[in-house]
Amino acid sequence: MKNVVIIGNGIAGVTAARHIRKKSNHKITIISAETDYFFSRTALMYIFMGHMKFEHTQPYENWFWKKNRIELVKAYVDSVNTDAKELVLDNGTSLNYDDLIIATGSKPNKFGWPGQDLKAVTGMYSKQDLDTITHYSKDCHRAVIVGGGLIGIEMAEMLVSKNIPVTFLVRETSFWNKVLPAEESEMINRHIKEHHIDLRLDTNLVEILSDENGRAKAVVTDKGETIACNLVGLTAGVSPNVSFLKDSGIDLDRGVLVNRQLETNIPNVYAIGDCAQQHQAIGERRAIEAVWYTGRMMGETVARTICGKPSEYQPGQWFNSAKFLDIEYQTYGWVWAKPRENEARFYWEHKDGKKCIHINYDKDSKEFIGINTFGIRMRHQKFDQWLHEKQSVHHVLEHLKDANFDPEFYAQHEDEILAKFNLENGTDLKAKKKSWKRIFA
């Protein structure tokens, strides 16, 4: 029986613990100082907005951990001694391990801005961040959010739901335009402004000013503006939470370097989730993937290896989903901000300006490469299948109804989408009748 210690109780670490328990009688200990029990990090915004209580974000009852013989230790790890296989905790105690899994996730980026450590300046990643926002929003007359990614738009939605005026500083010339093509980025620009959010594009933070009590009172931008505020959200991305490992002998870059079996350079030490960095990126994926479902998959993979069935991390087809205020977003495969030389694009946008699809395909072979969809829910299974089968863009468009996941009485747009493609490309594609067998198989 091994003694397995996991640092971090996020989706990656907890998935590893659950699957190790299913496959073995190993001793399992999870160390985390964030919360007593695992919770769904993606649900934090809904607690603030009053849609959920914190206990609703915990997938398992509190008795689950004892019943499944998973010991929980609430502490920070100060250092790791890989020679002695020992962890030193901030409470002065230490723990030994046979196998160590590092699953410490991410932390919000800070770029050395003057005032970044003032009161009422926070990221939006941890339960502690949520507590800070909740506390300082009670008397907030205006909030400034710095950074135009997914976390930034979530924080904006949270604050707007409480009728707090928000100024949004985005250094890019259009929202998330390093990820989204120009059409989708412009759609989200419009949508943000429609929610009465003061969107400042091509604008950088220079300094956060303090009041007499050490609380943020204003920000200064590179446009020479001073914007009065008493809550500042720093949402300019995240980075792996690995600084406590600097003297451990474990190879680090931006994250903990791992191979395809998620092993570090030290035997019996693994890294998973947001803090793990592949030596070589897998396909078109990034070497570090701060995505919920990849953390879960890494947890399952490392559990198999520790339990005697060495396995490679195989994430499959890329996908992701998010929500930009009222507009739901899904992406499957690859739709870059700008097409590559061999790629062609097809874009359709509904007249309401809140629904669109953007399809990427090979201009010569017509192979389907990826799709962005906004405001129309699609079935993951169908796009995963089509990408795996290397189907043509023509096949995807003709069978697009099979992928639609919107409720029965929602408006359907596939005929309009297909007609636009035919008009632009001189084709005569015809929509196939919706196959219920394919959907429910």
The model carries a pTM of 0.94
Domain count, the chain: 3
Does some domain include residue 334? yes
CA angle 361, 286, 374 (to 5 degrees): 50
pLDDT at 439 over 80: no
Query: pLDDT tens for residues 227-268?
Result: 999 999 999 999 999 999 999 999 999 999 999 999 999 999
Q: How far apart are the first and last CA of the chain?
A: 41
Q: Do 232 and 243 belong to one domain?
A: no
Range of the domain at 88: 3-107+239-306
Query: pLDDT tens for residues 53-66?
Result: 999 999 999 999 99
Judge whether 257 and 90 are in contact, CB under 8 Å: no
CATH number at residue 297: 3.50.50.60
Q: What per-residue confidence (pLDDT) applies to 148?
A: 86
Q: Which one, of 257, 210, 253, 250, lies nearest residue 113 by Cα? A: 210
Q: What per-residue confidence (pLDDT) applies to 441?
A: 46
Q: Do 65 and 142 belong to one domain?
A: no
Q: Do 202 and 281 belong to one domain?
A: no
Q: What percent of the chain has pLDDT over 70?
A: 98
Helix (H, G, I), strand (E, B) or coil at 300: helix
What are the C-alpha distances in Å from 326 to residues 167, 363, 425? 18, 33, 32
Does some domain include residue 113? no
In this prediction, residues 87-105 reach a mean pLDDT of: 97
Query: pLDDT tens for residues 140-185?
Result: 999 999 998 899 999 999 999 999 999 999 999 999 999 999 999 9
Domain boundary residue among 306, 330, 345?
Answer: 306
In this prediction, residues 420-425 reach a mean pLDDT of: 98
Q: What per-residue confidence (pLDDT) applies to 407?
A: 82
In this prediction, residues 311-315 reach a mean pLDDT of: 97
Query: pLDDT tens for residues 210-224?
Result: 999 999 999 999 999
Query: pLDDT tens for residues 322-338?
Result: 999 999 999 999 999 99
What are the C-alpha distances in Å from 113 to residues 49, 66, 110, 153, 173? 29, 44, 7, 21, 21
Q: Do 266 and 222 belong to one domain?
A: no
- Provide the residue type at 312 as one letter: E
Full DSSP string of 264-295: -SSTTEEE-GGGEEESS--TTS-SS---HHHH
Q: Do 163 and 143 belong to one domain?
A: yes
Distance CA 240, CA 279 (A): 15
In this prediction, residues 186-209 reach a mean pLDDT of: 98
Judge whether 136 and 143 are in contact, CB under 8 Å: no
- Provide the residue type at 2 as one letter: K
- Provide the residue type at 215 as one letter: R
Does some domain include residue 205? yes
Q: Do 144 and 217 belong to one domain?
A: yes
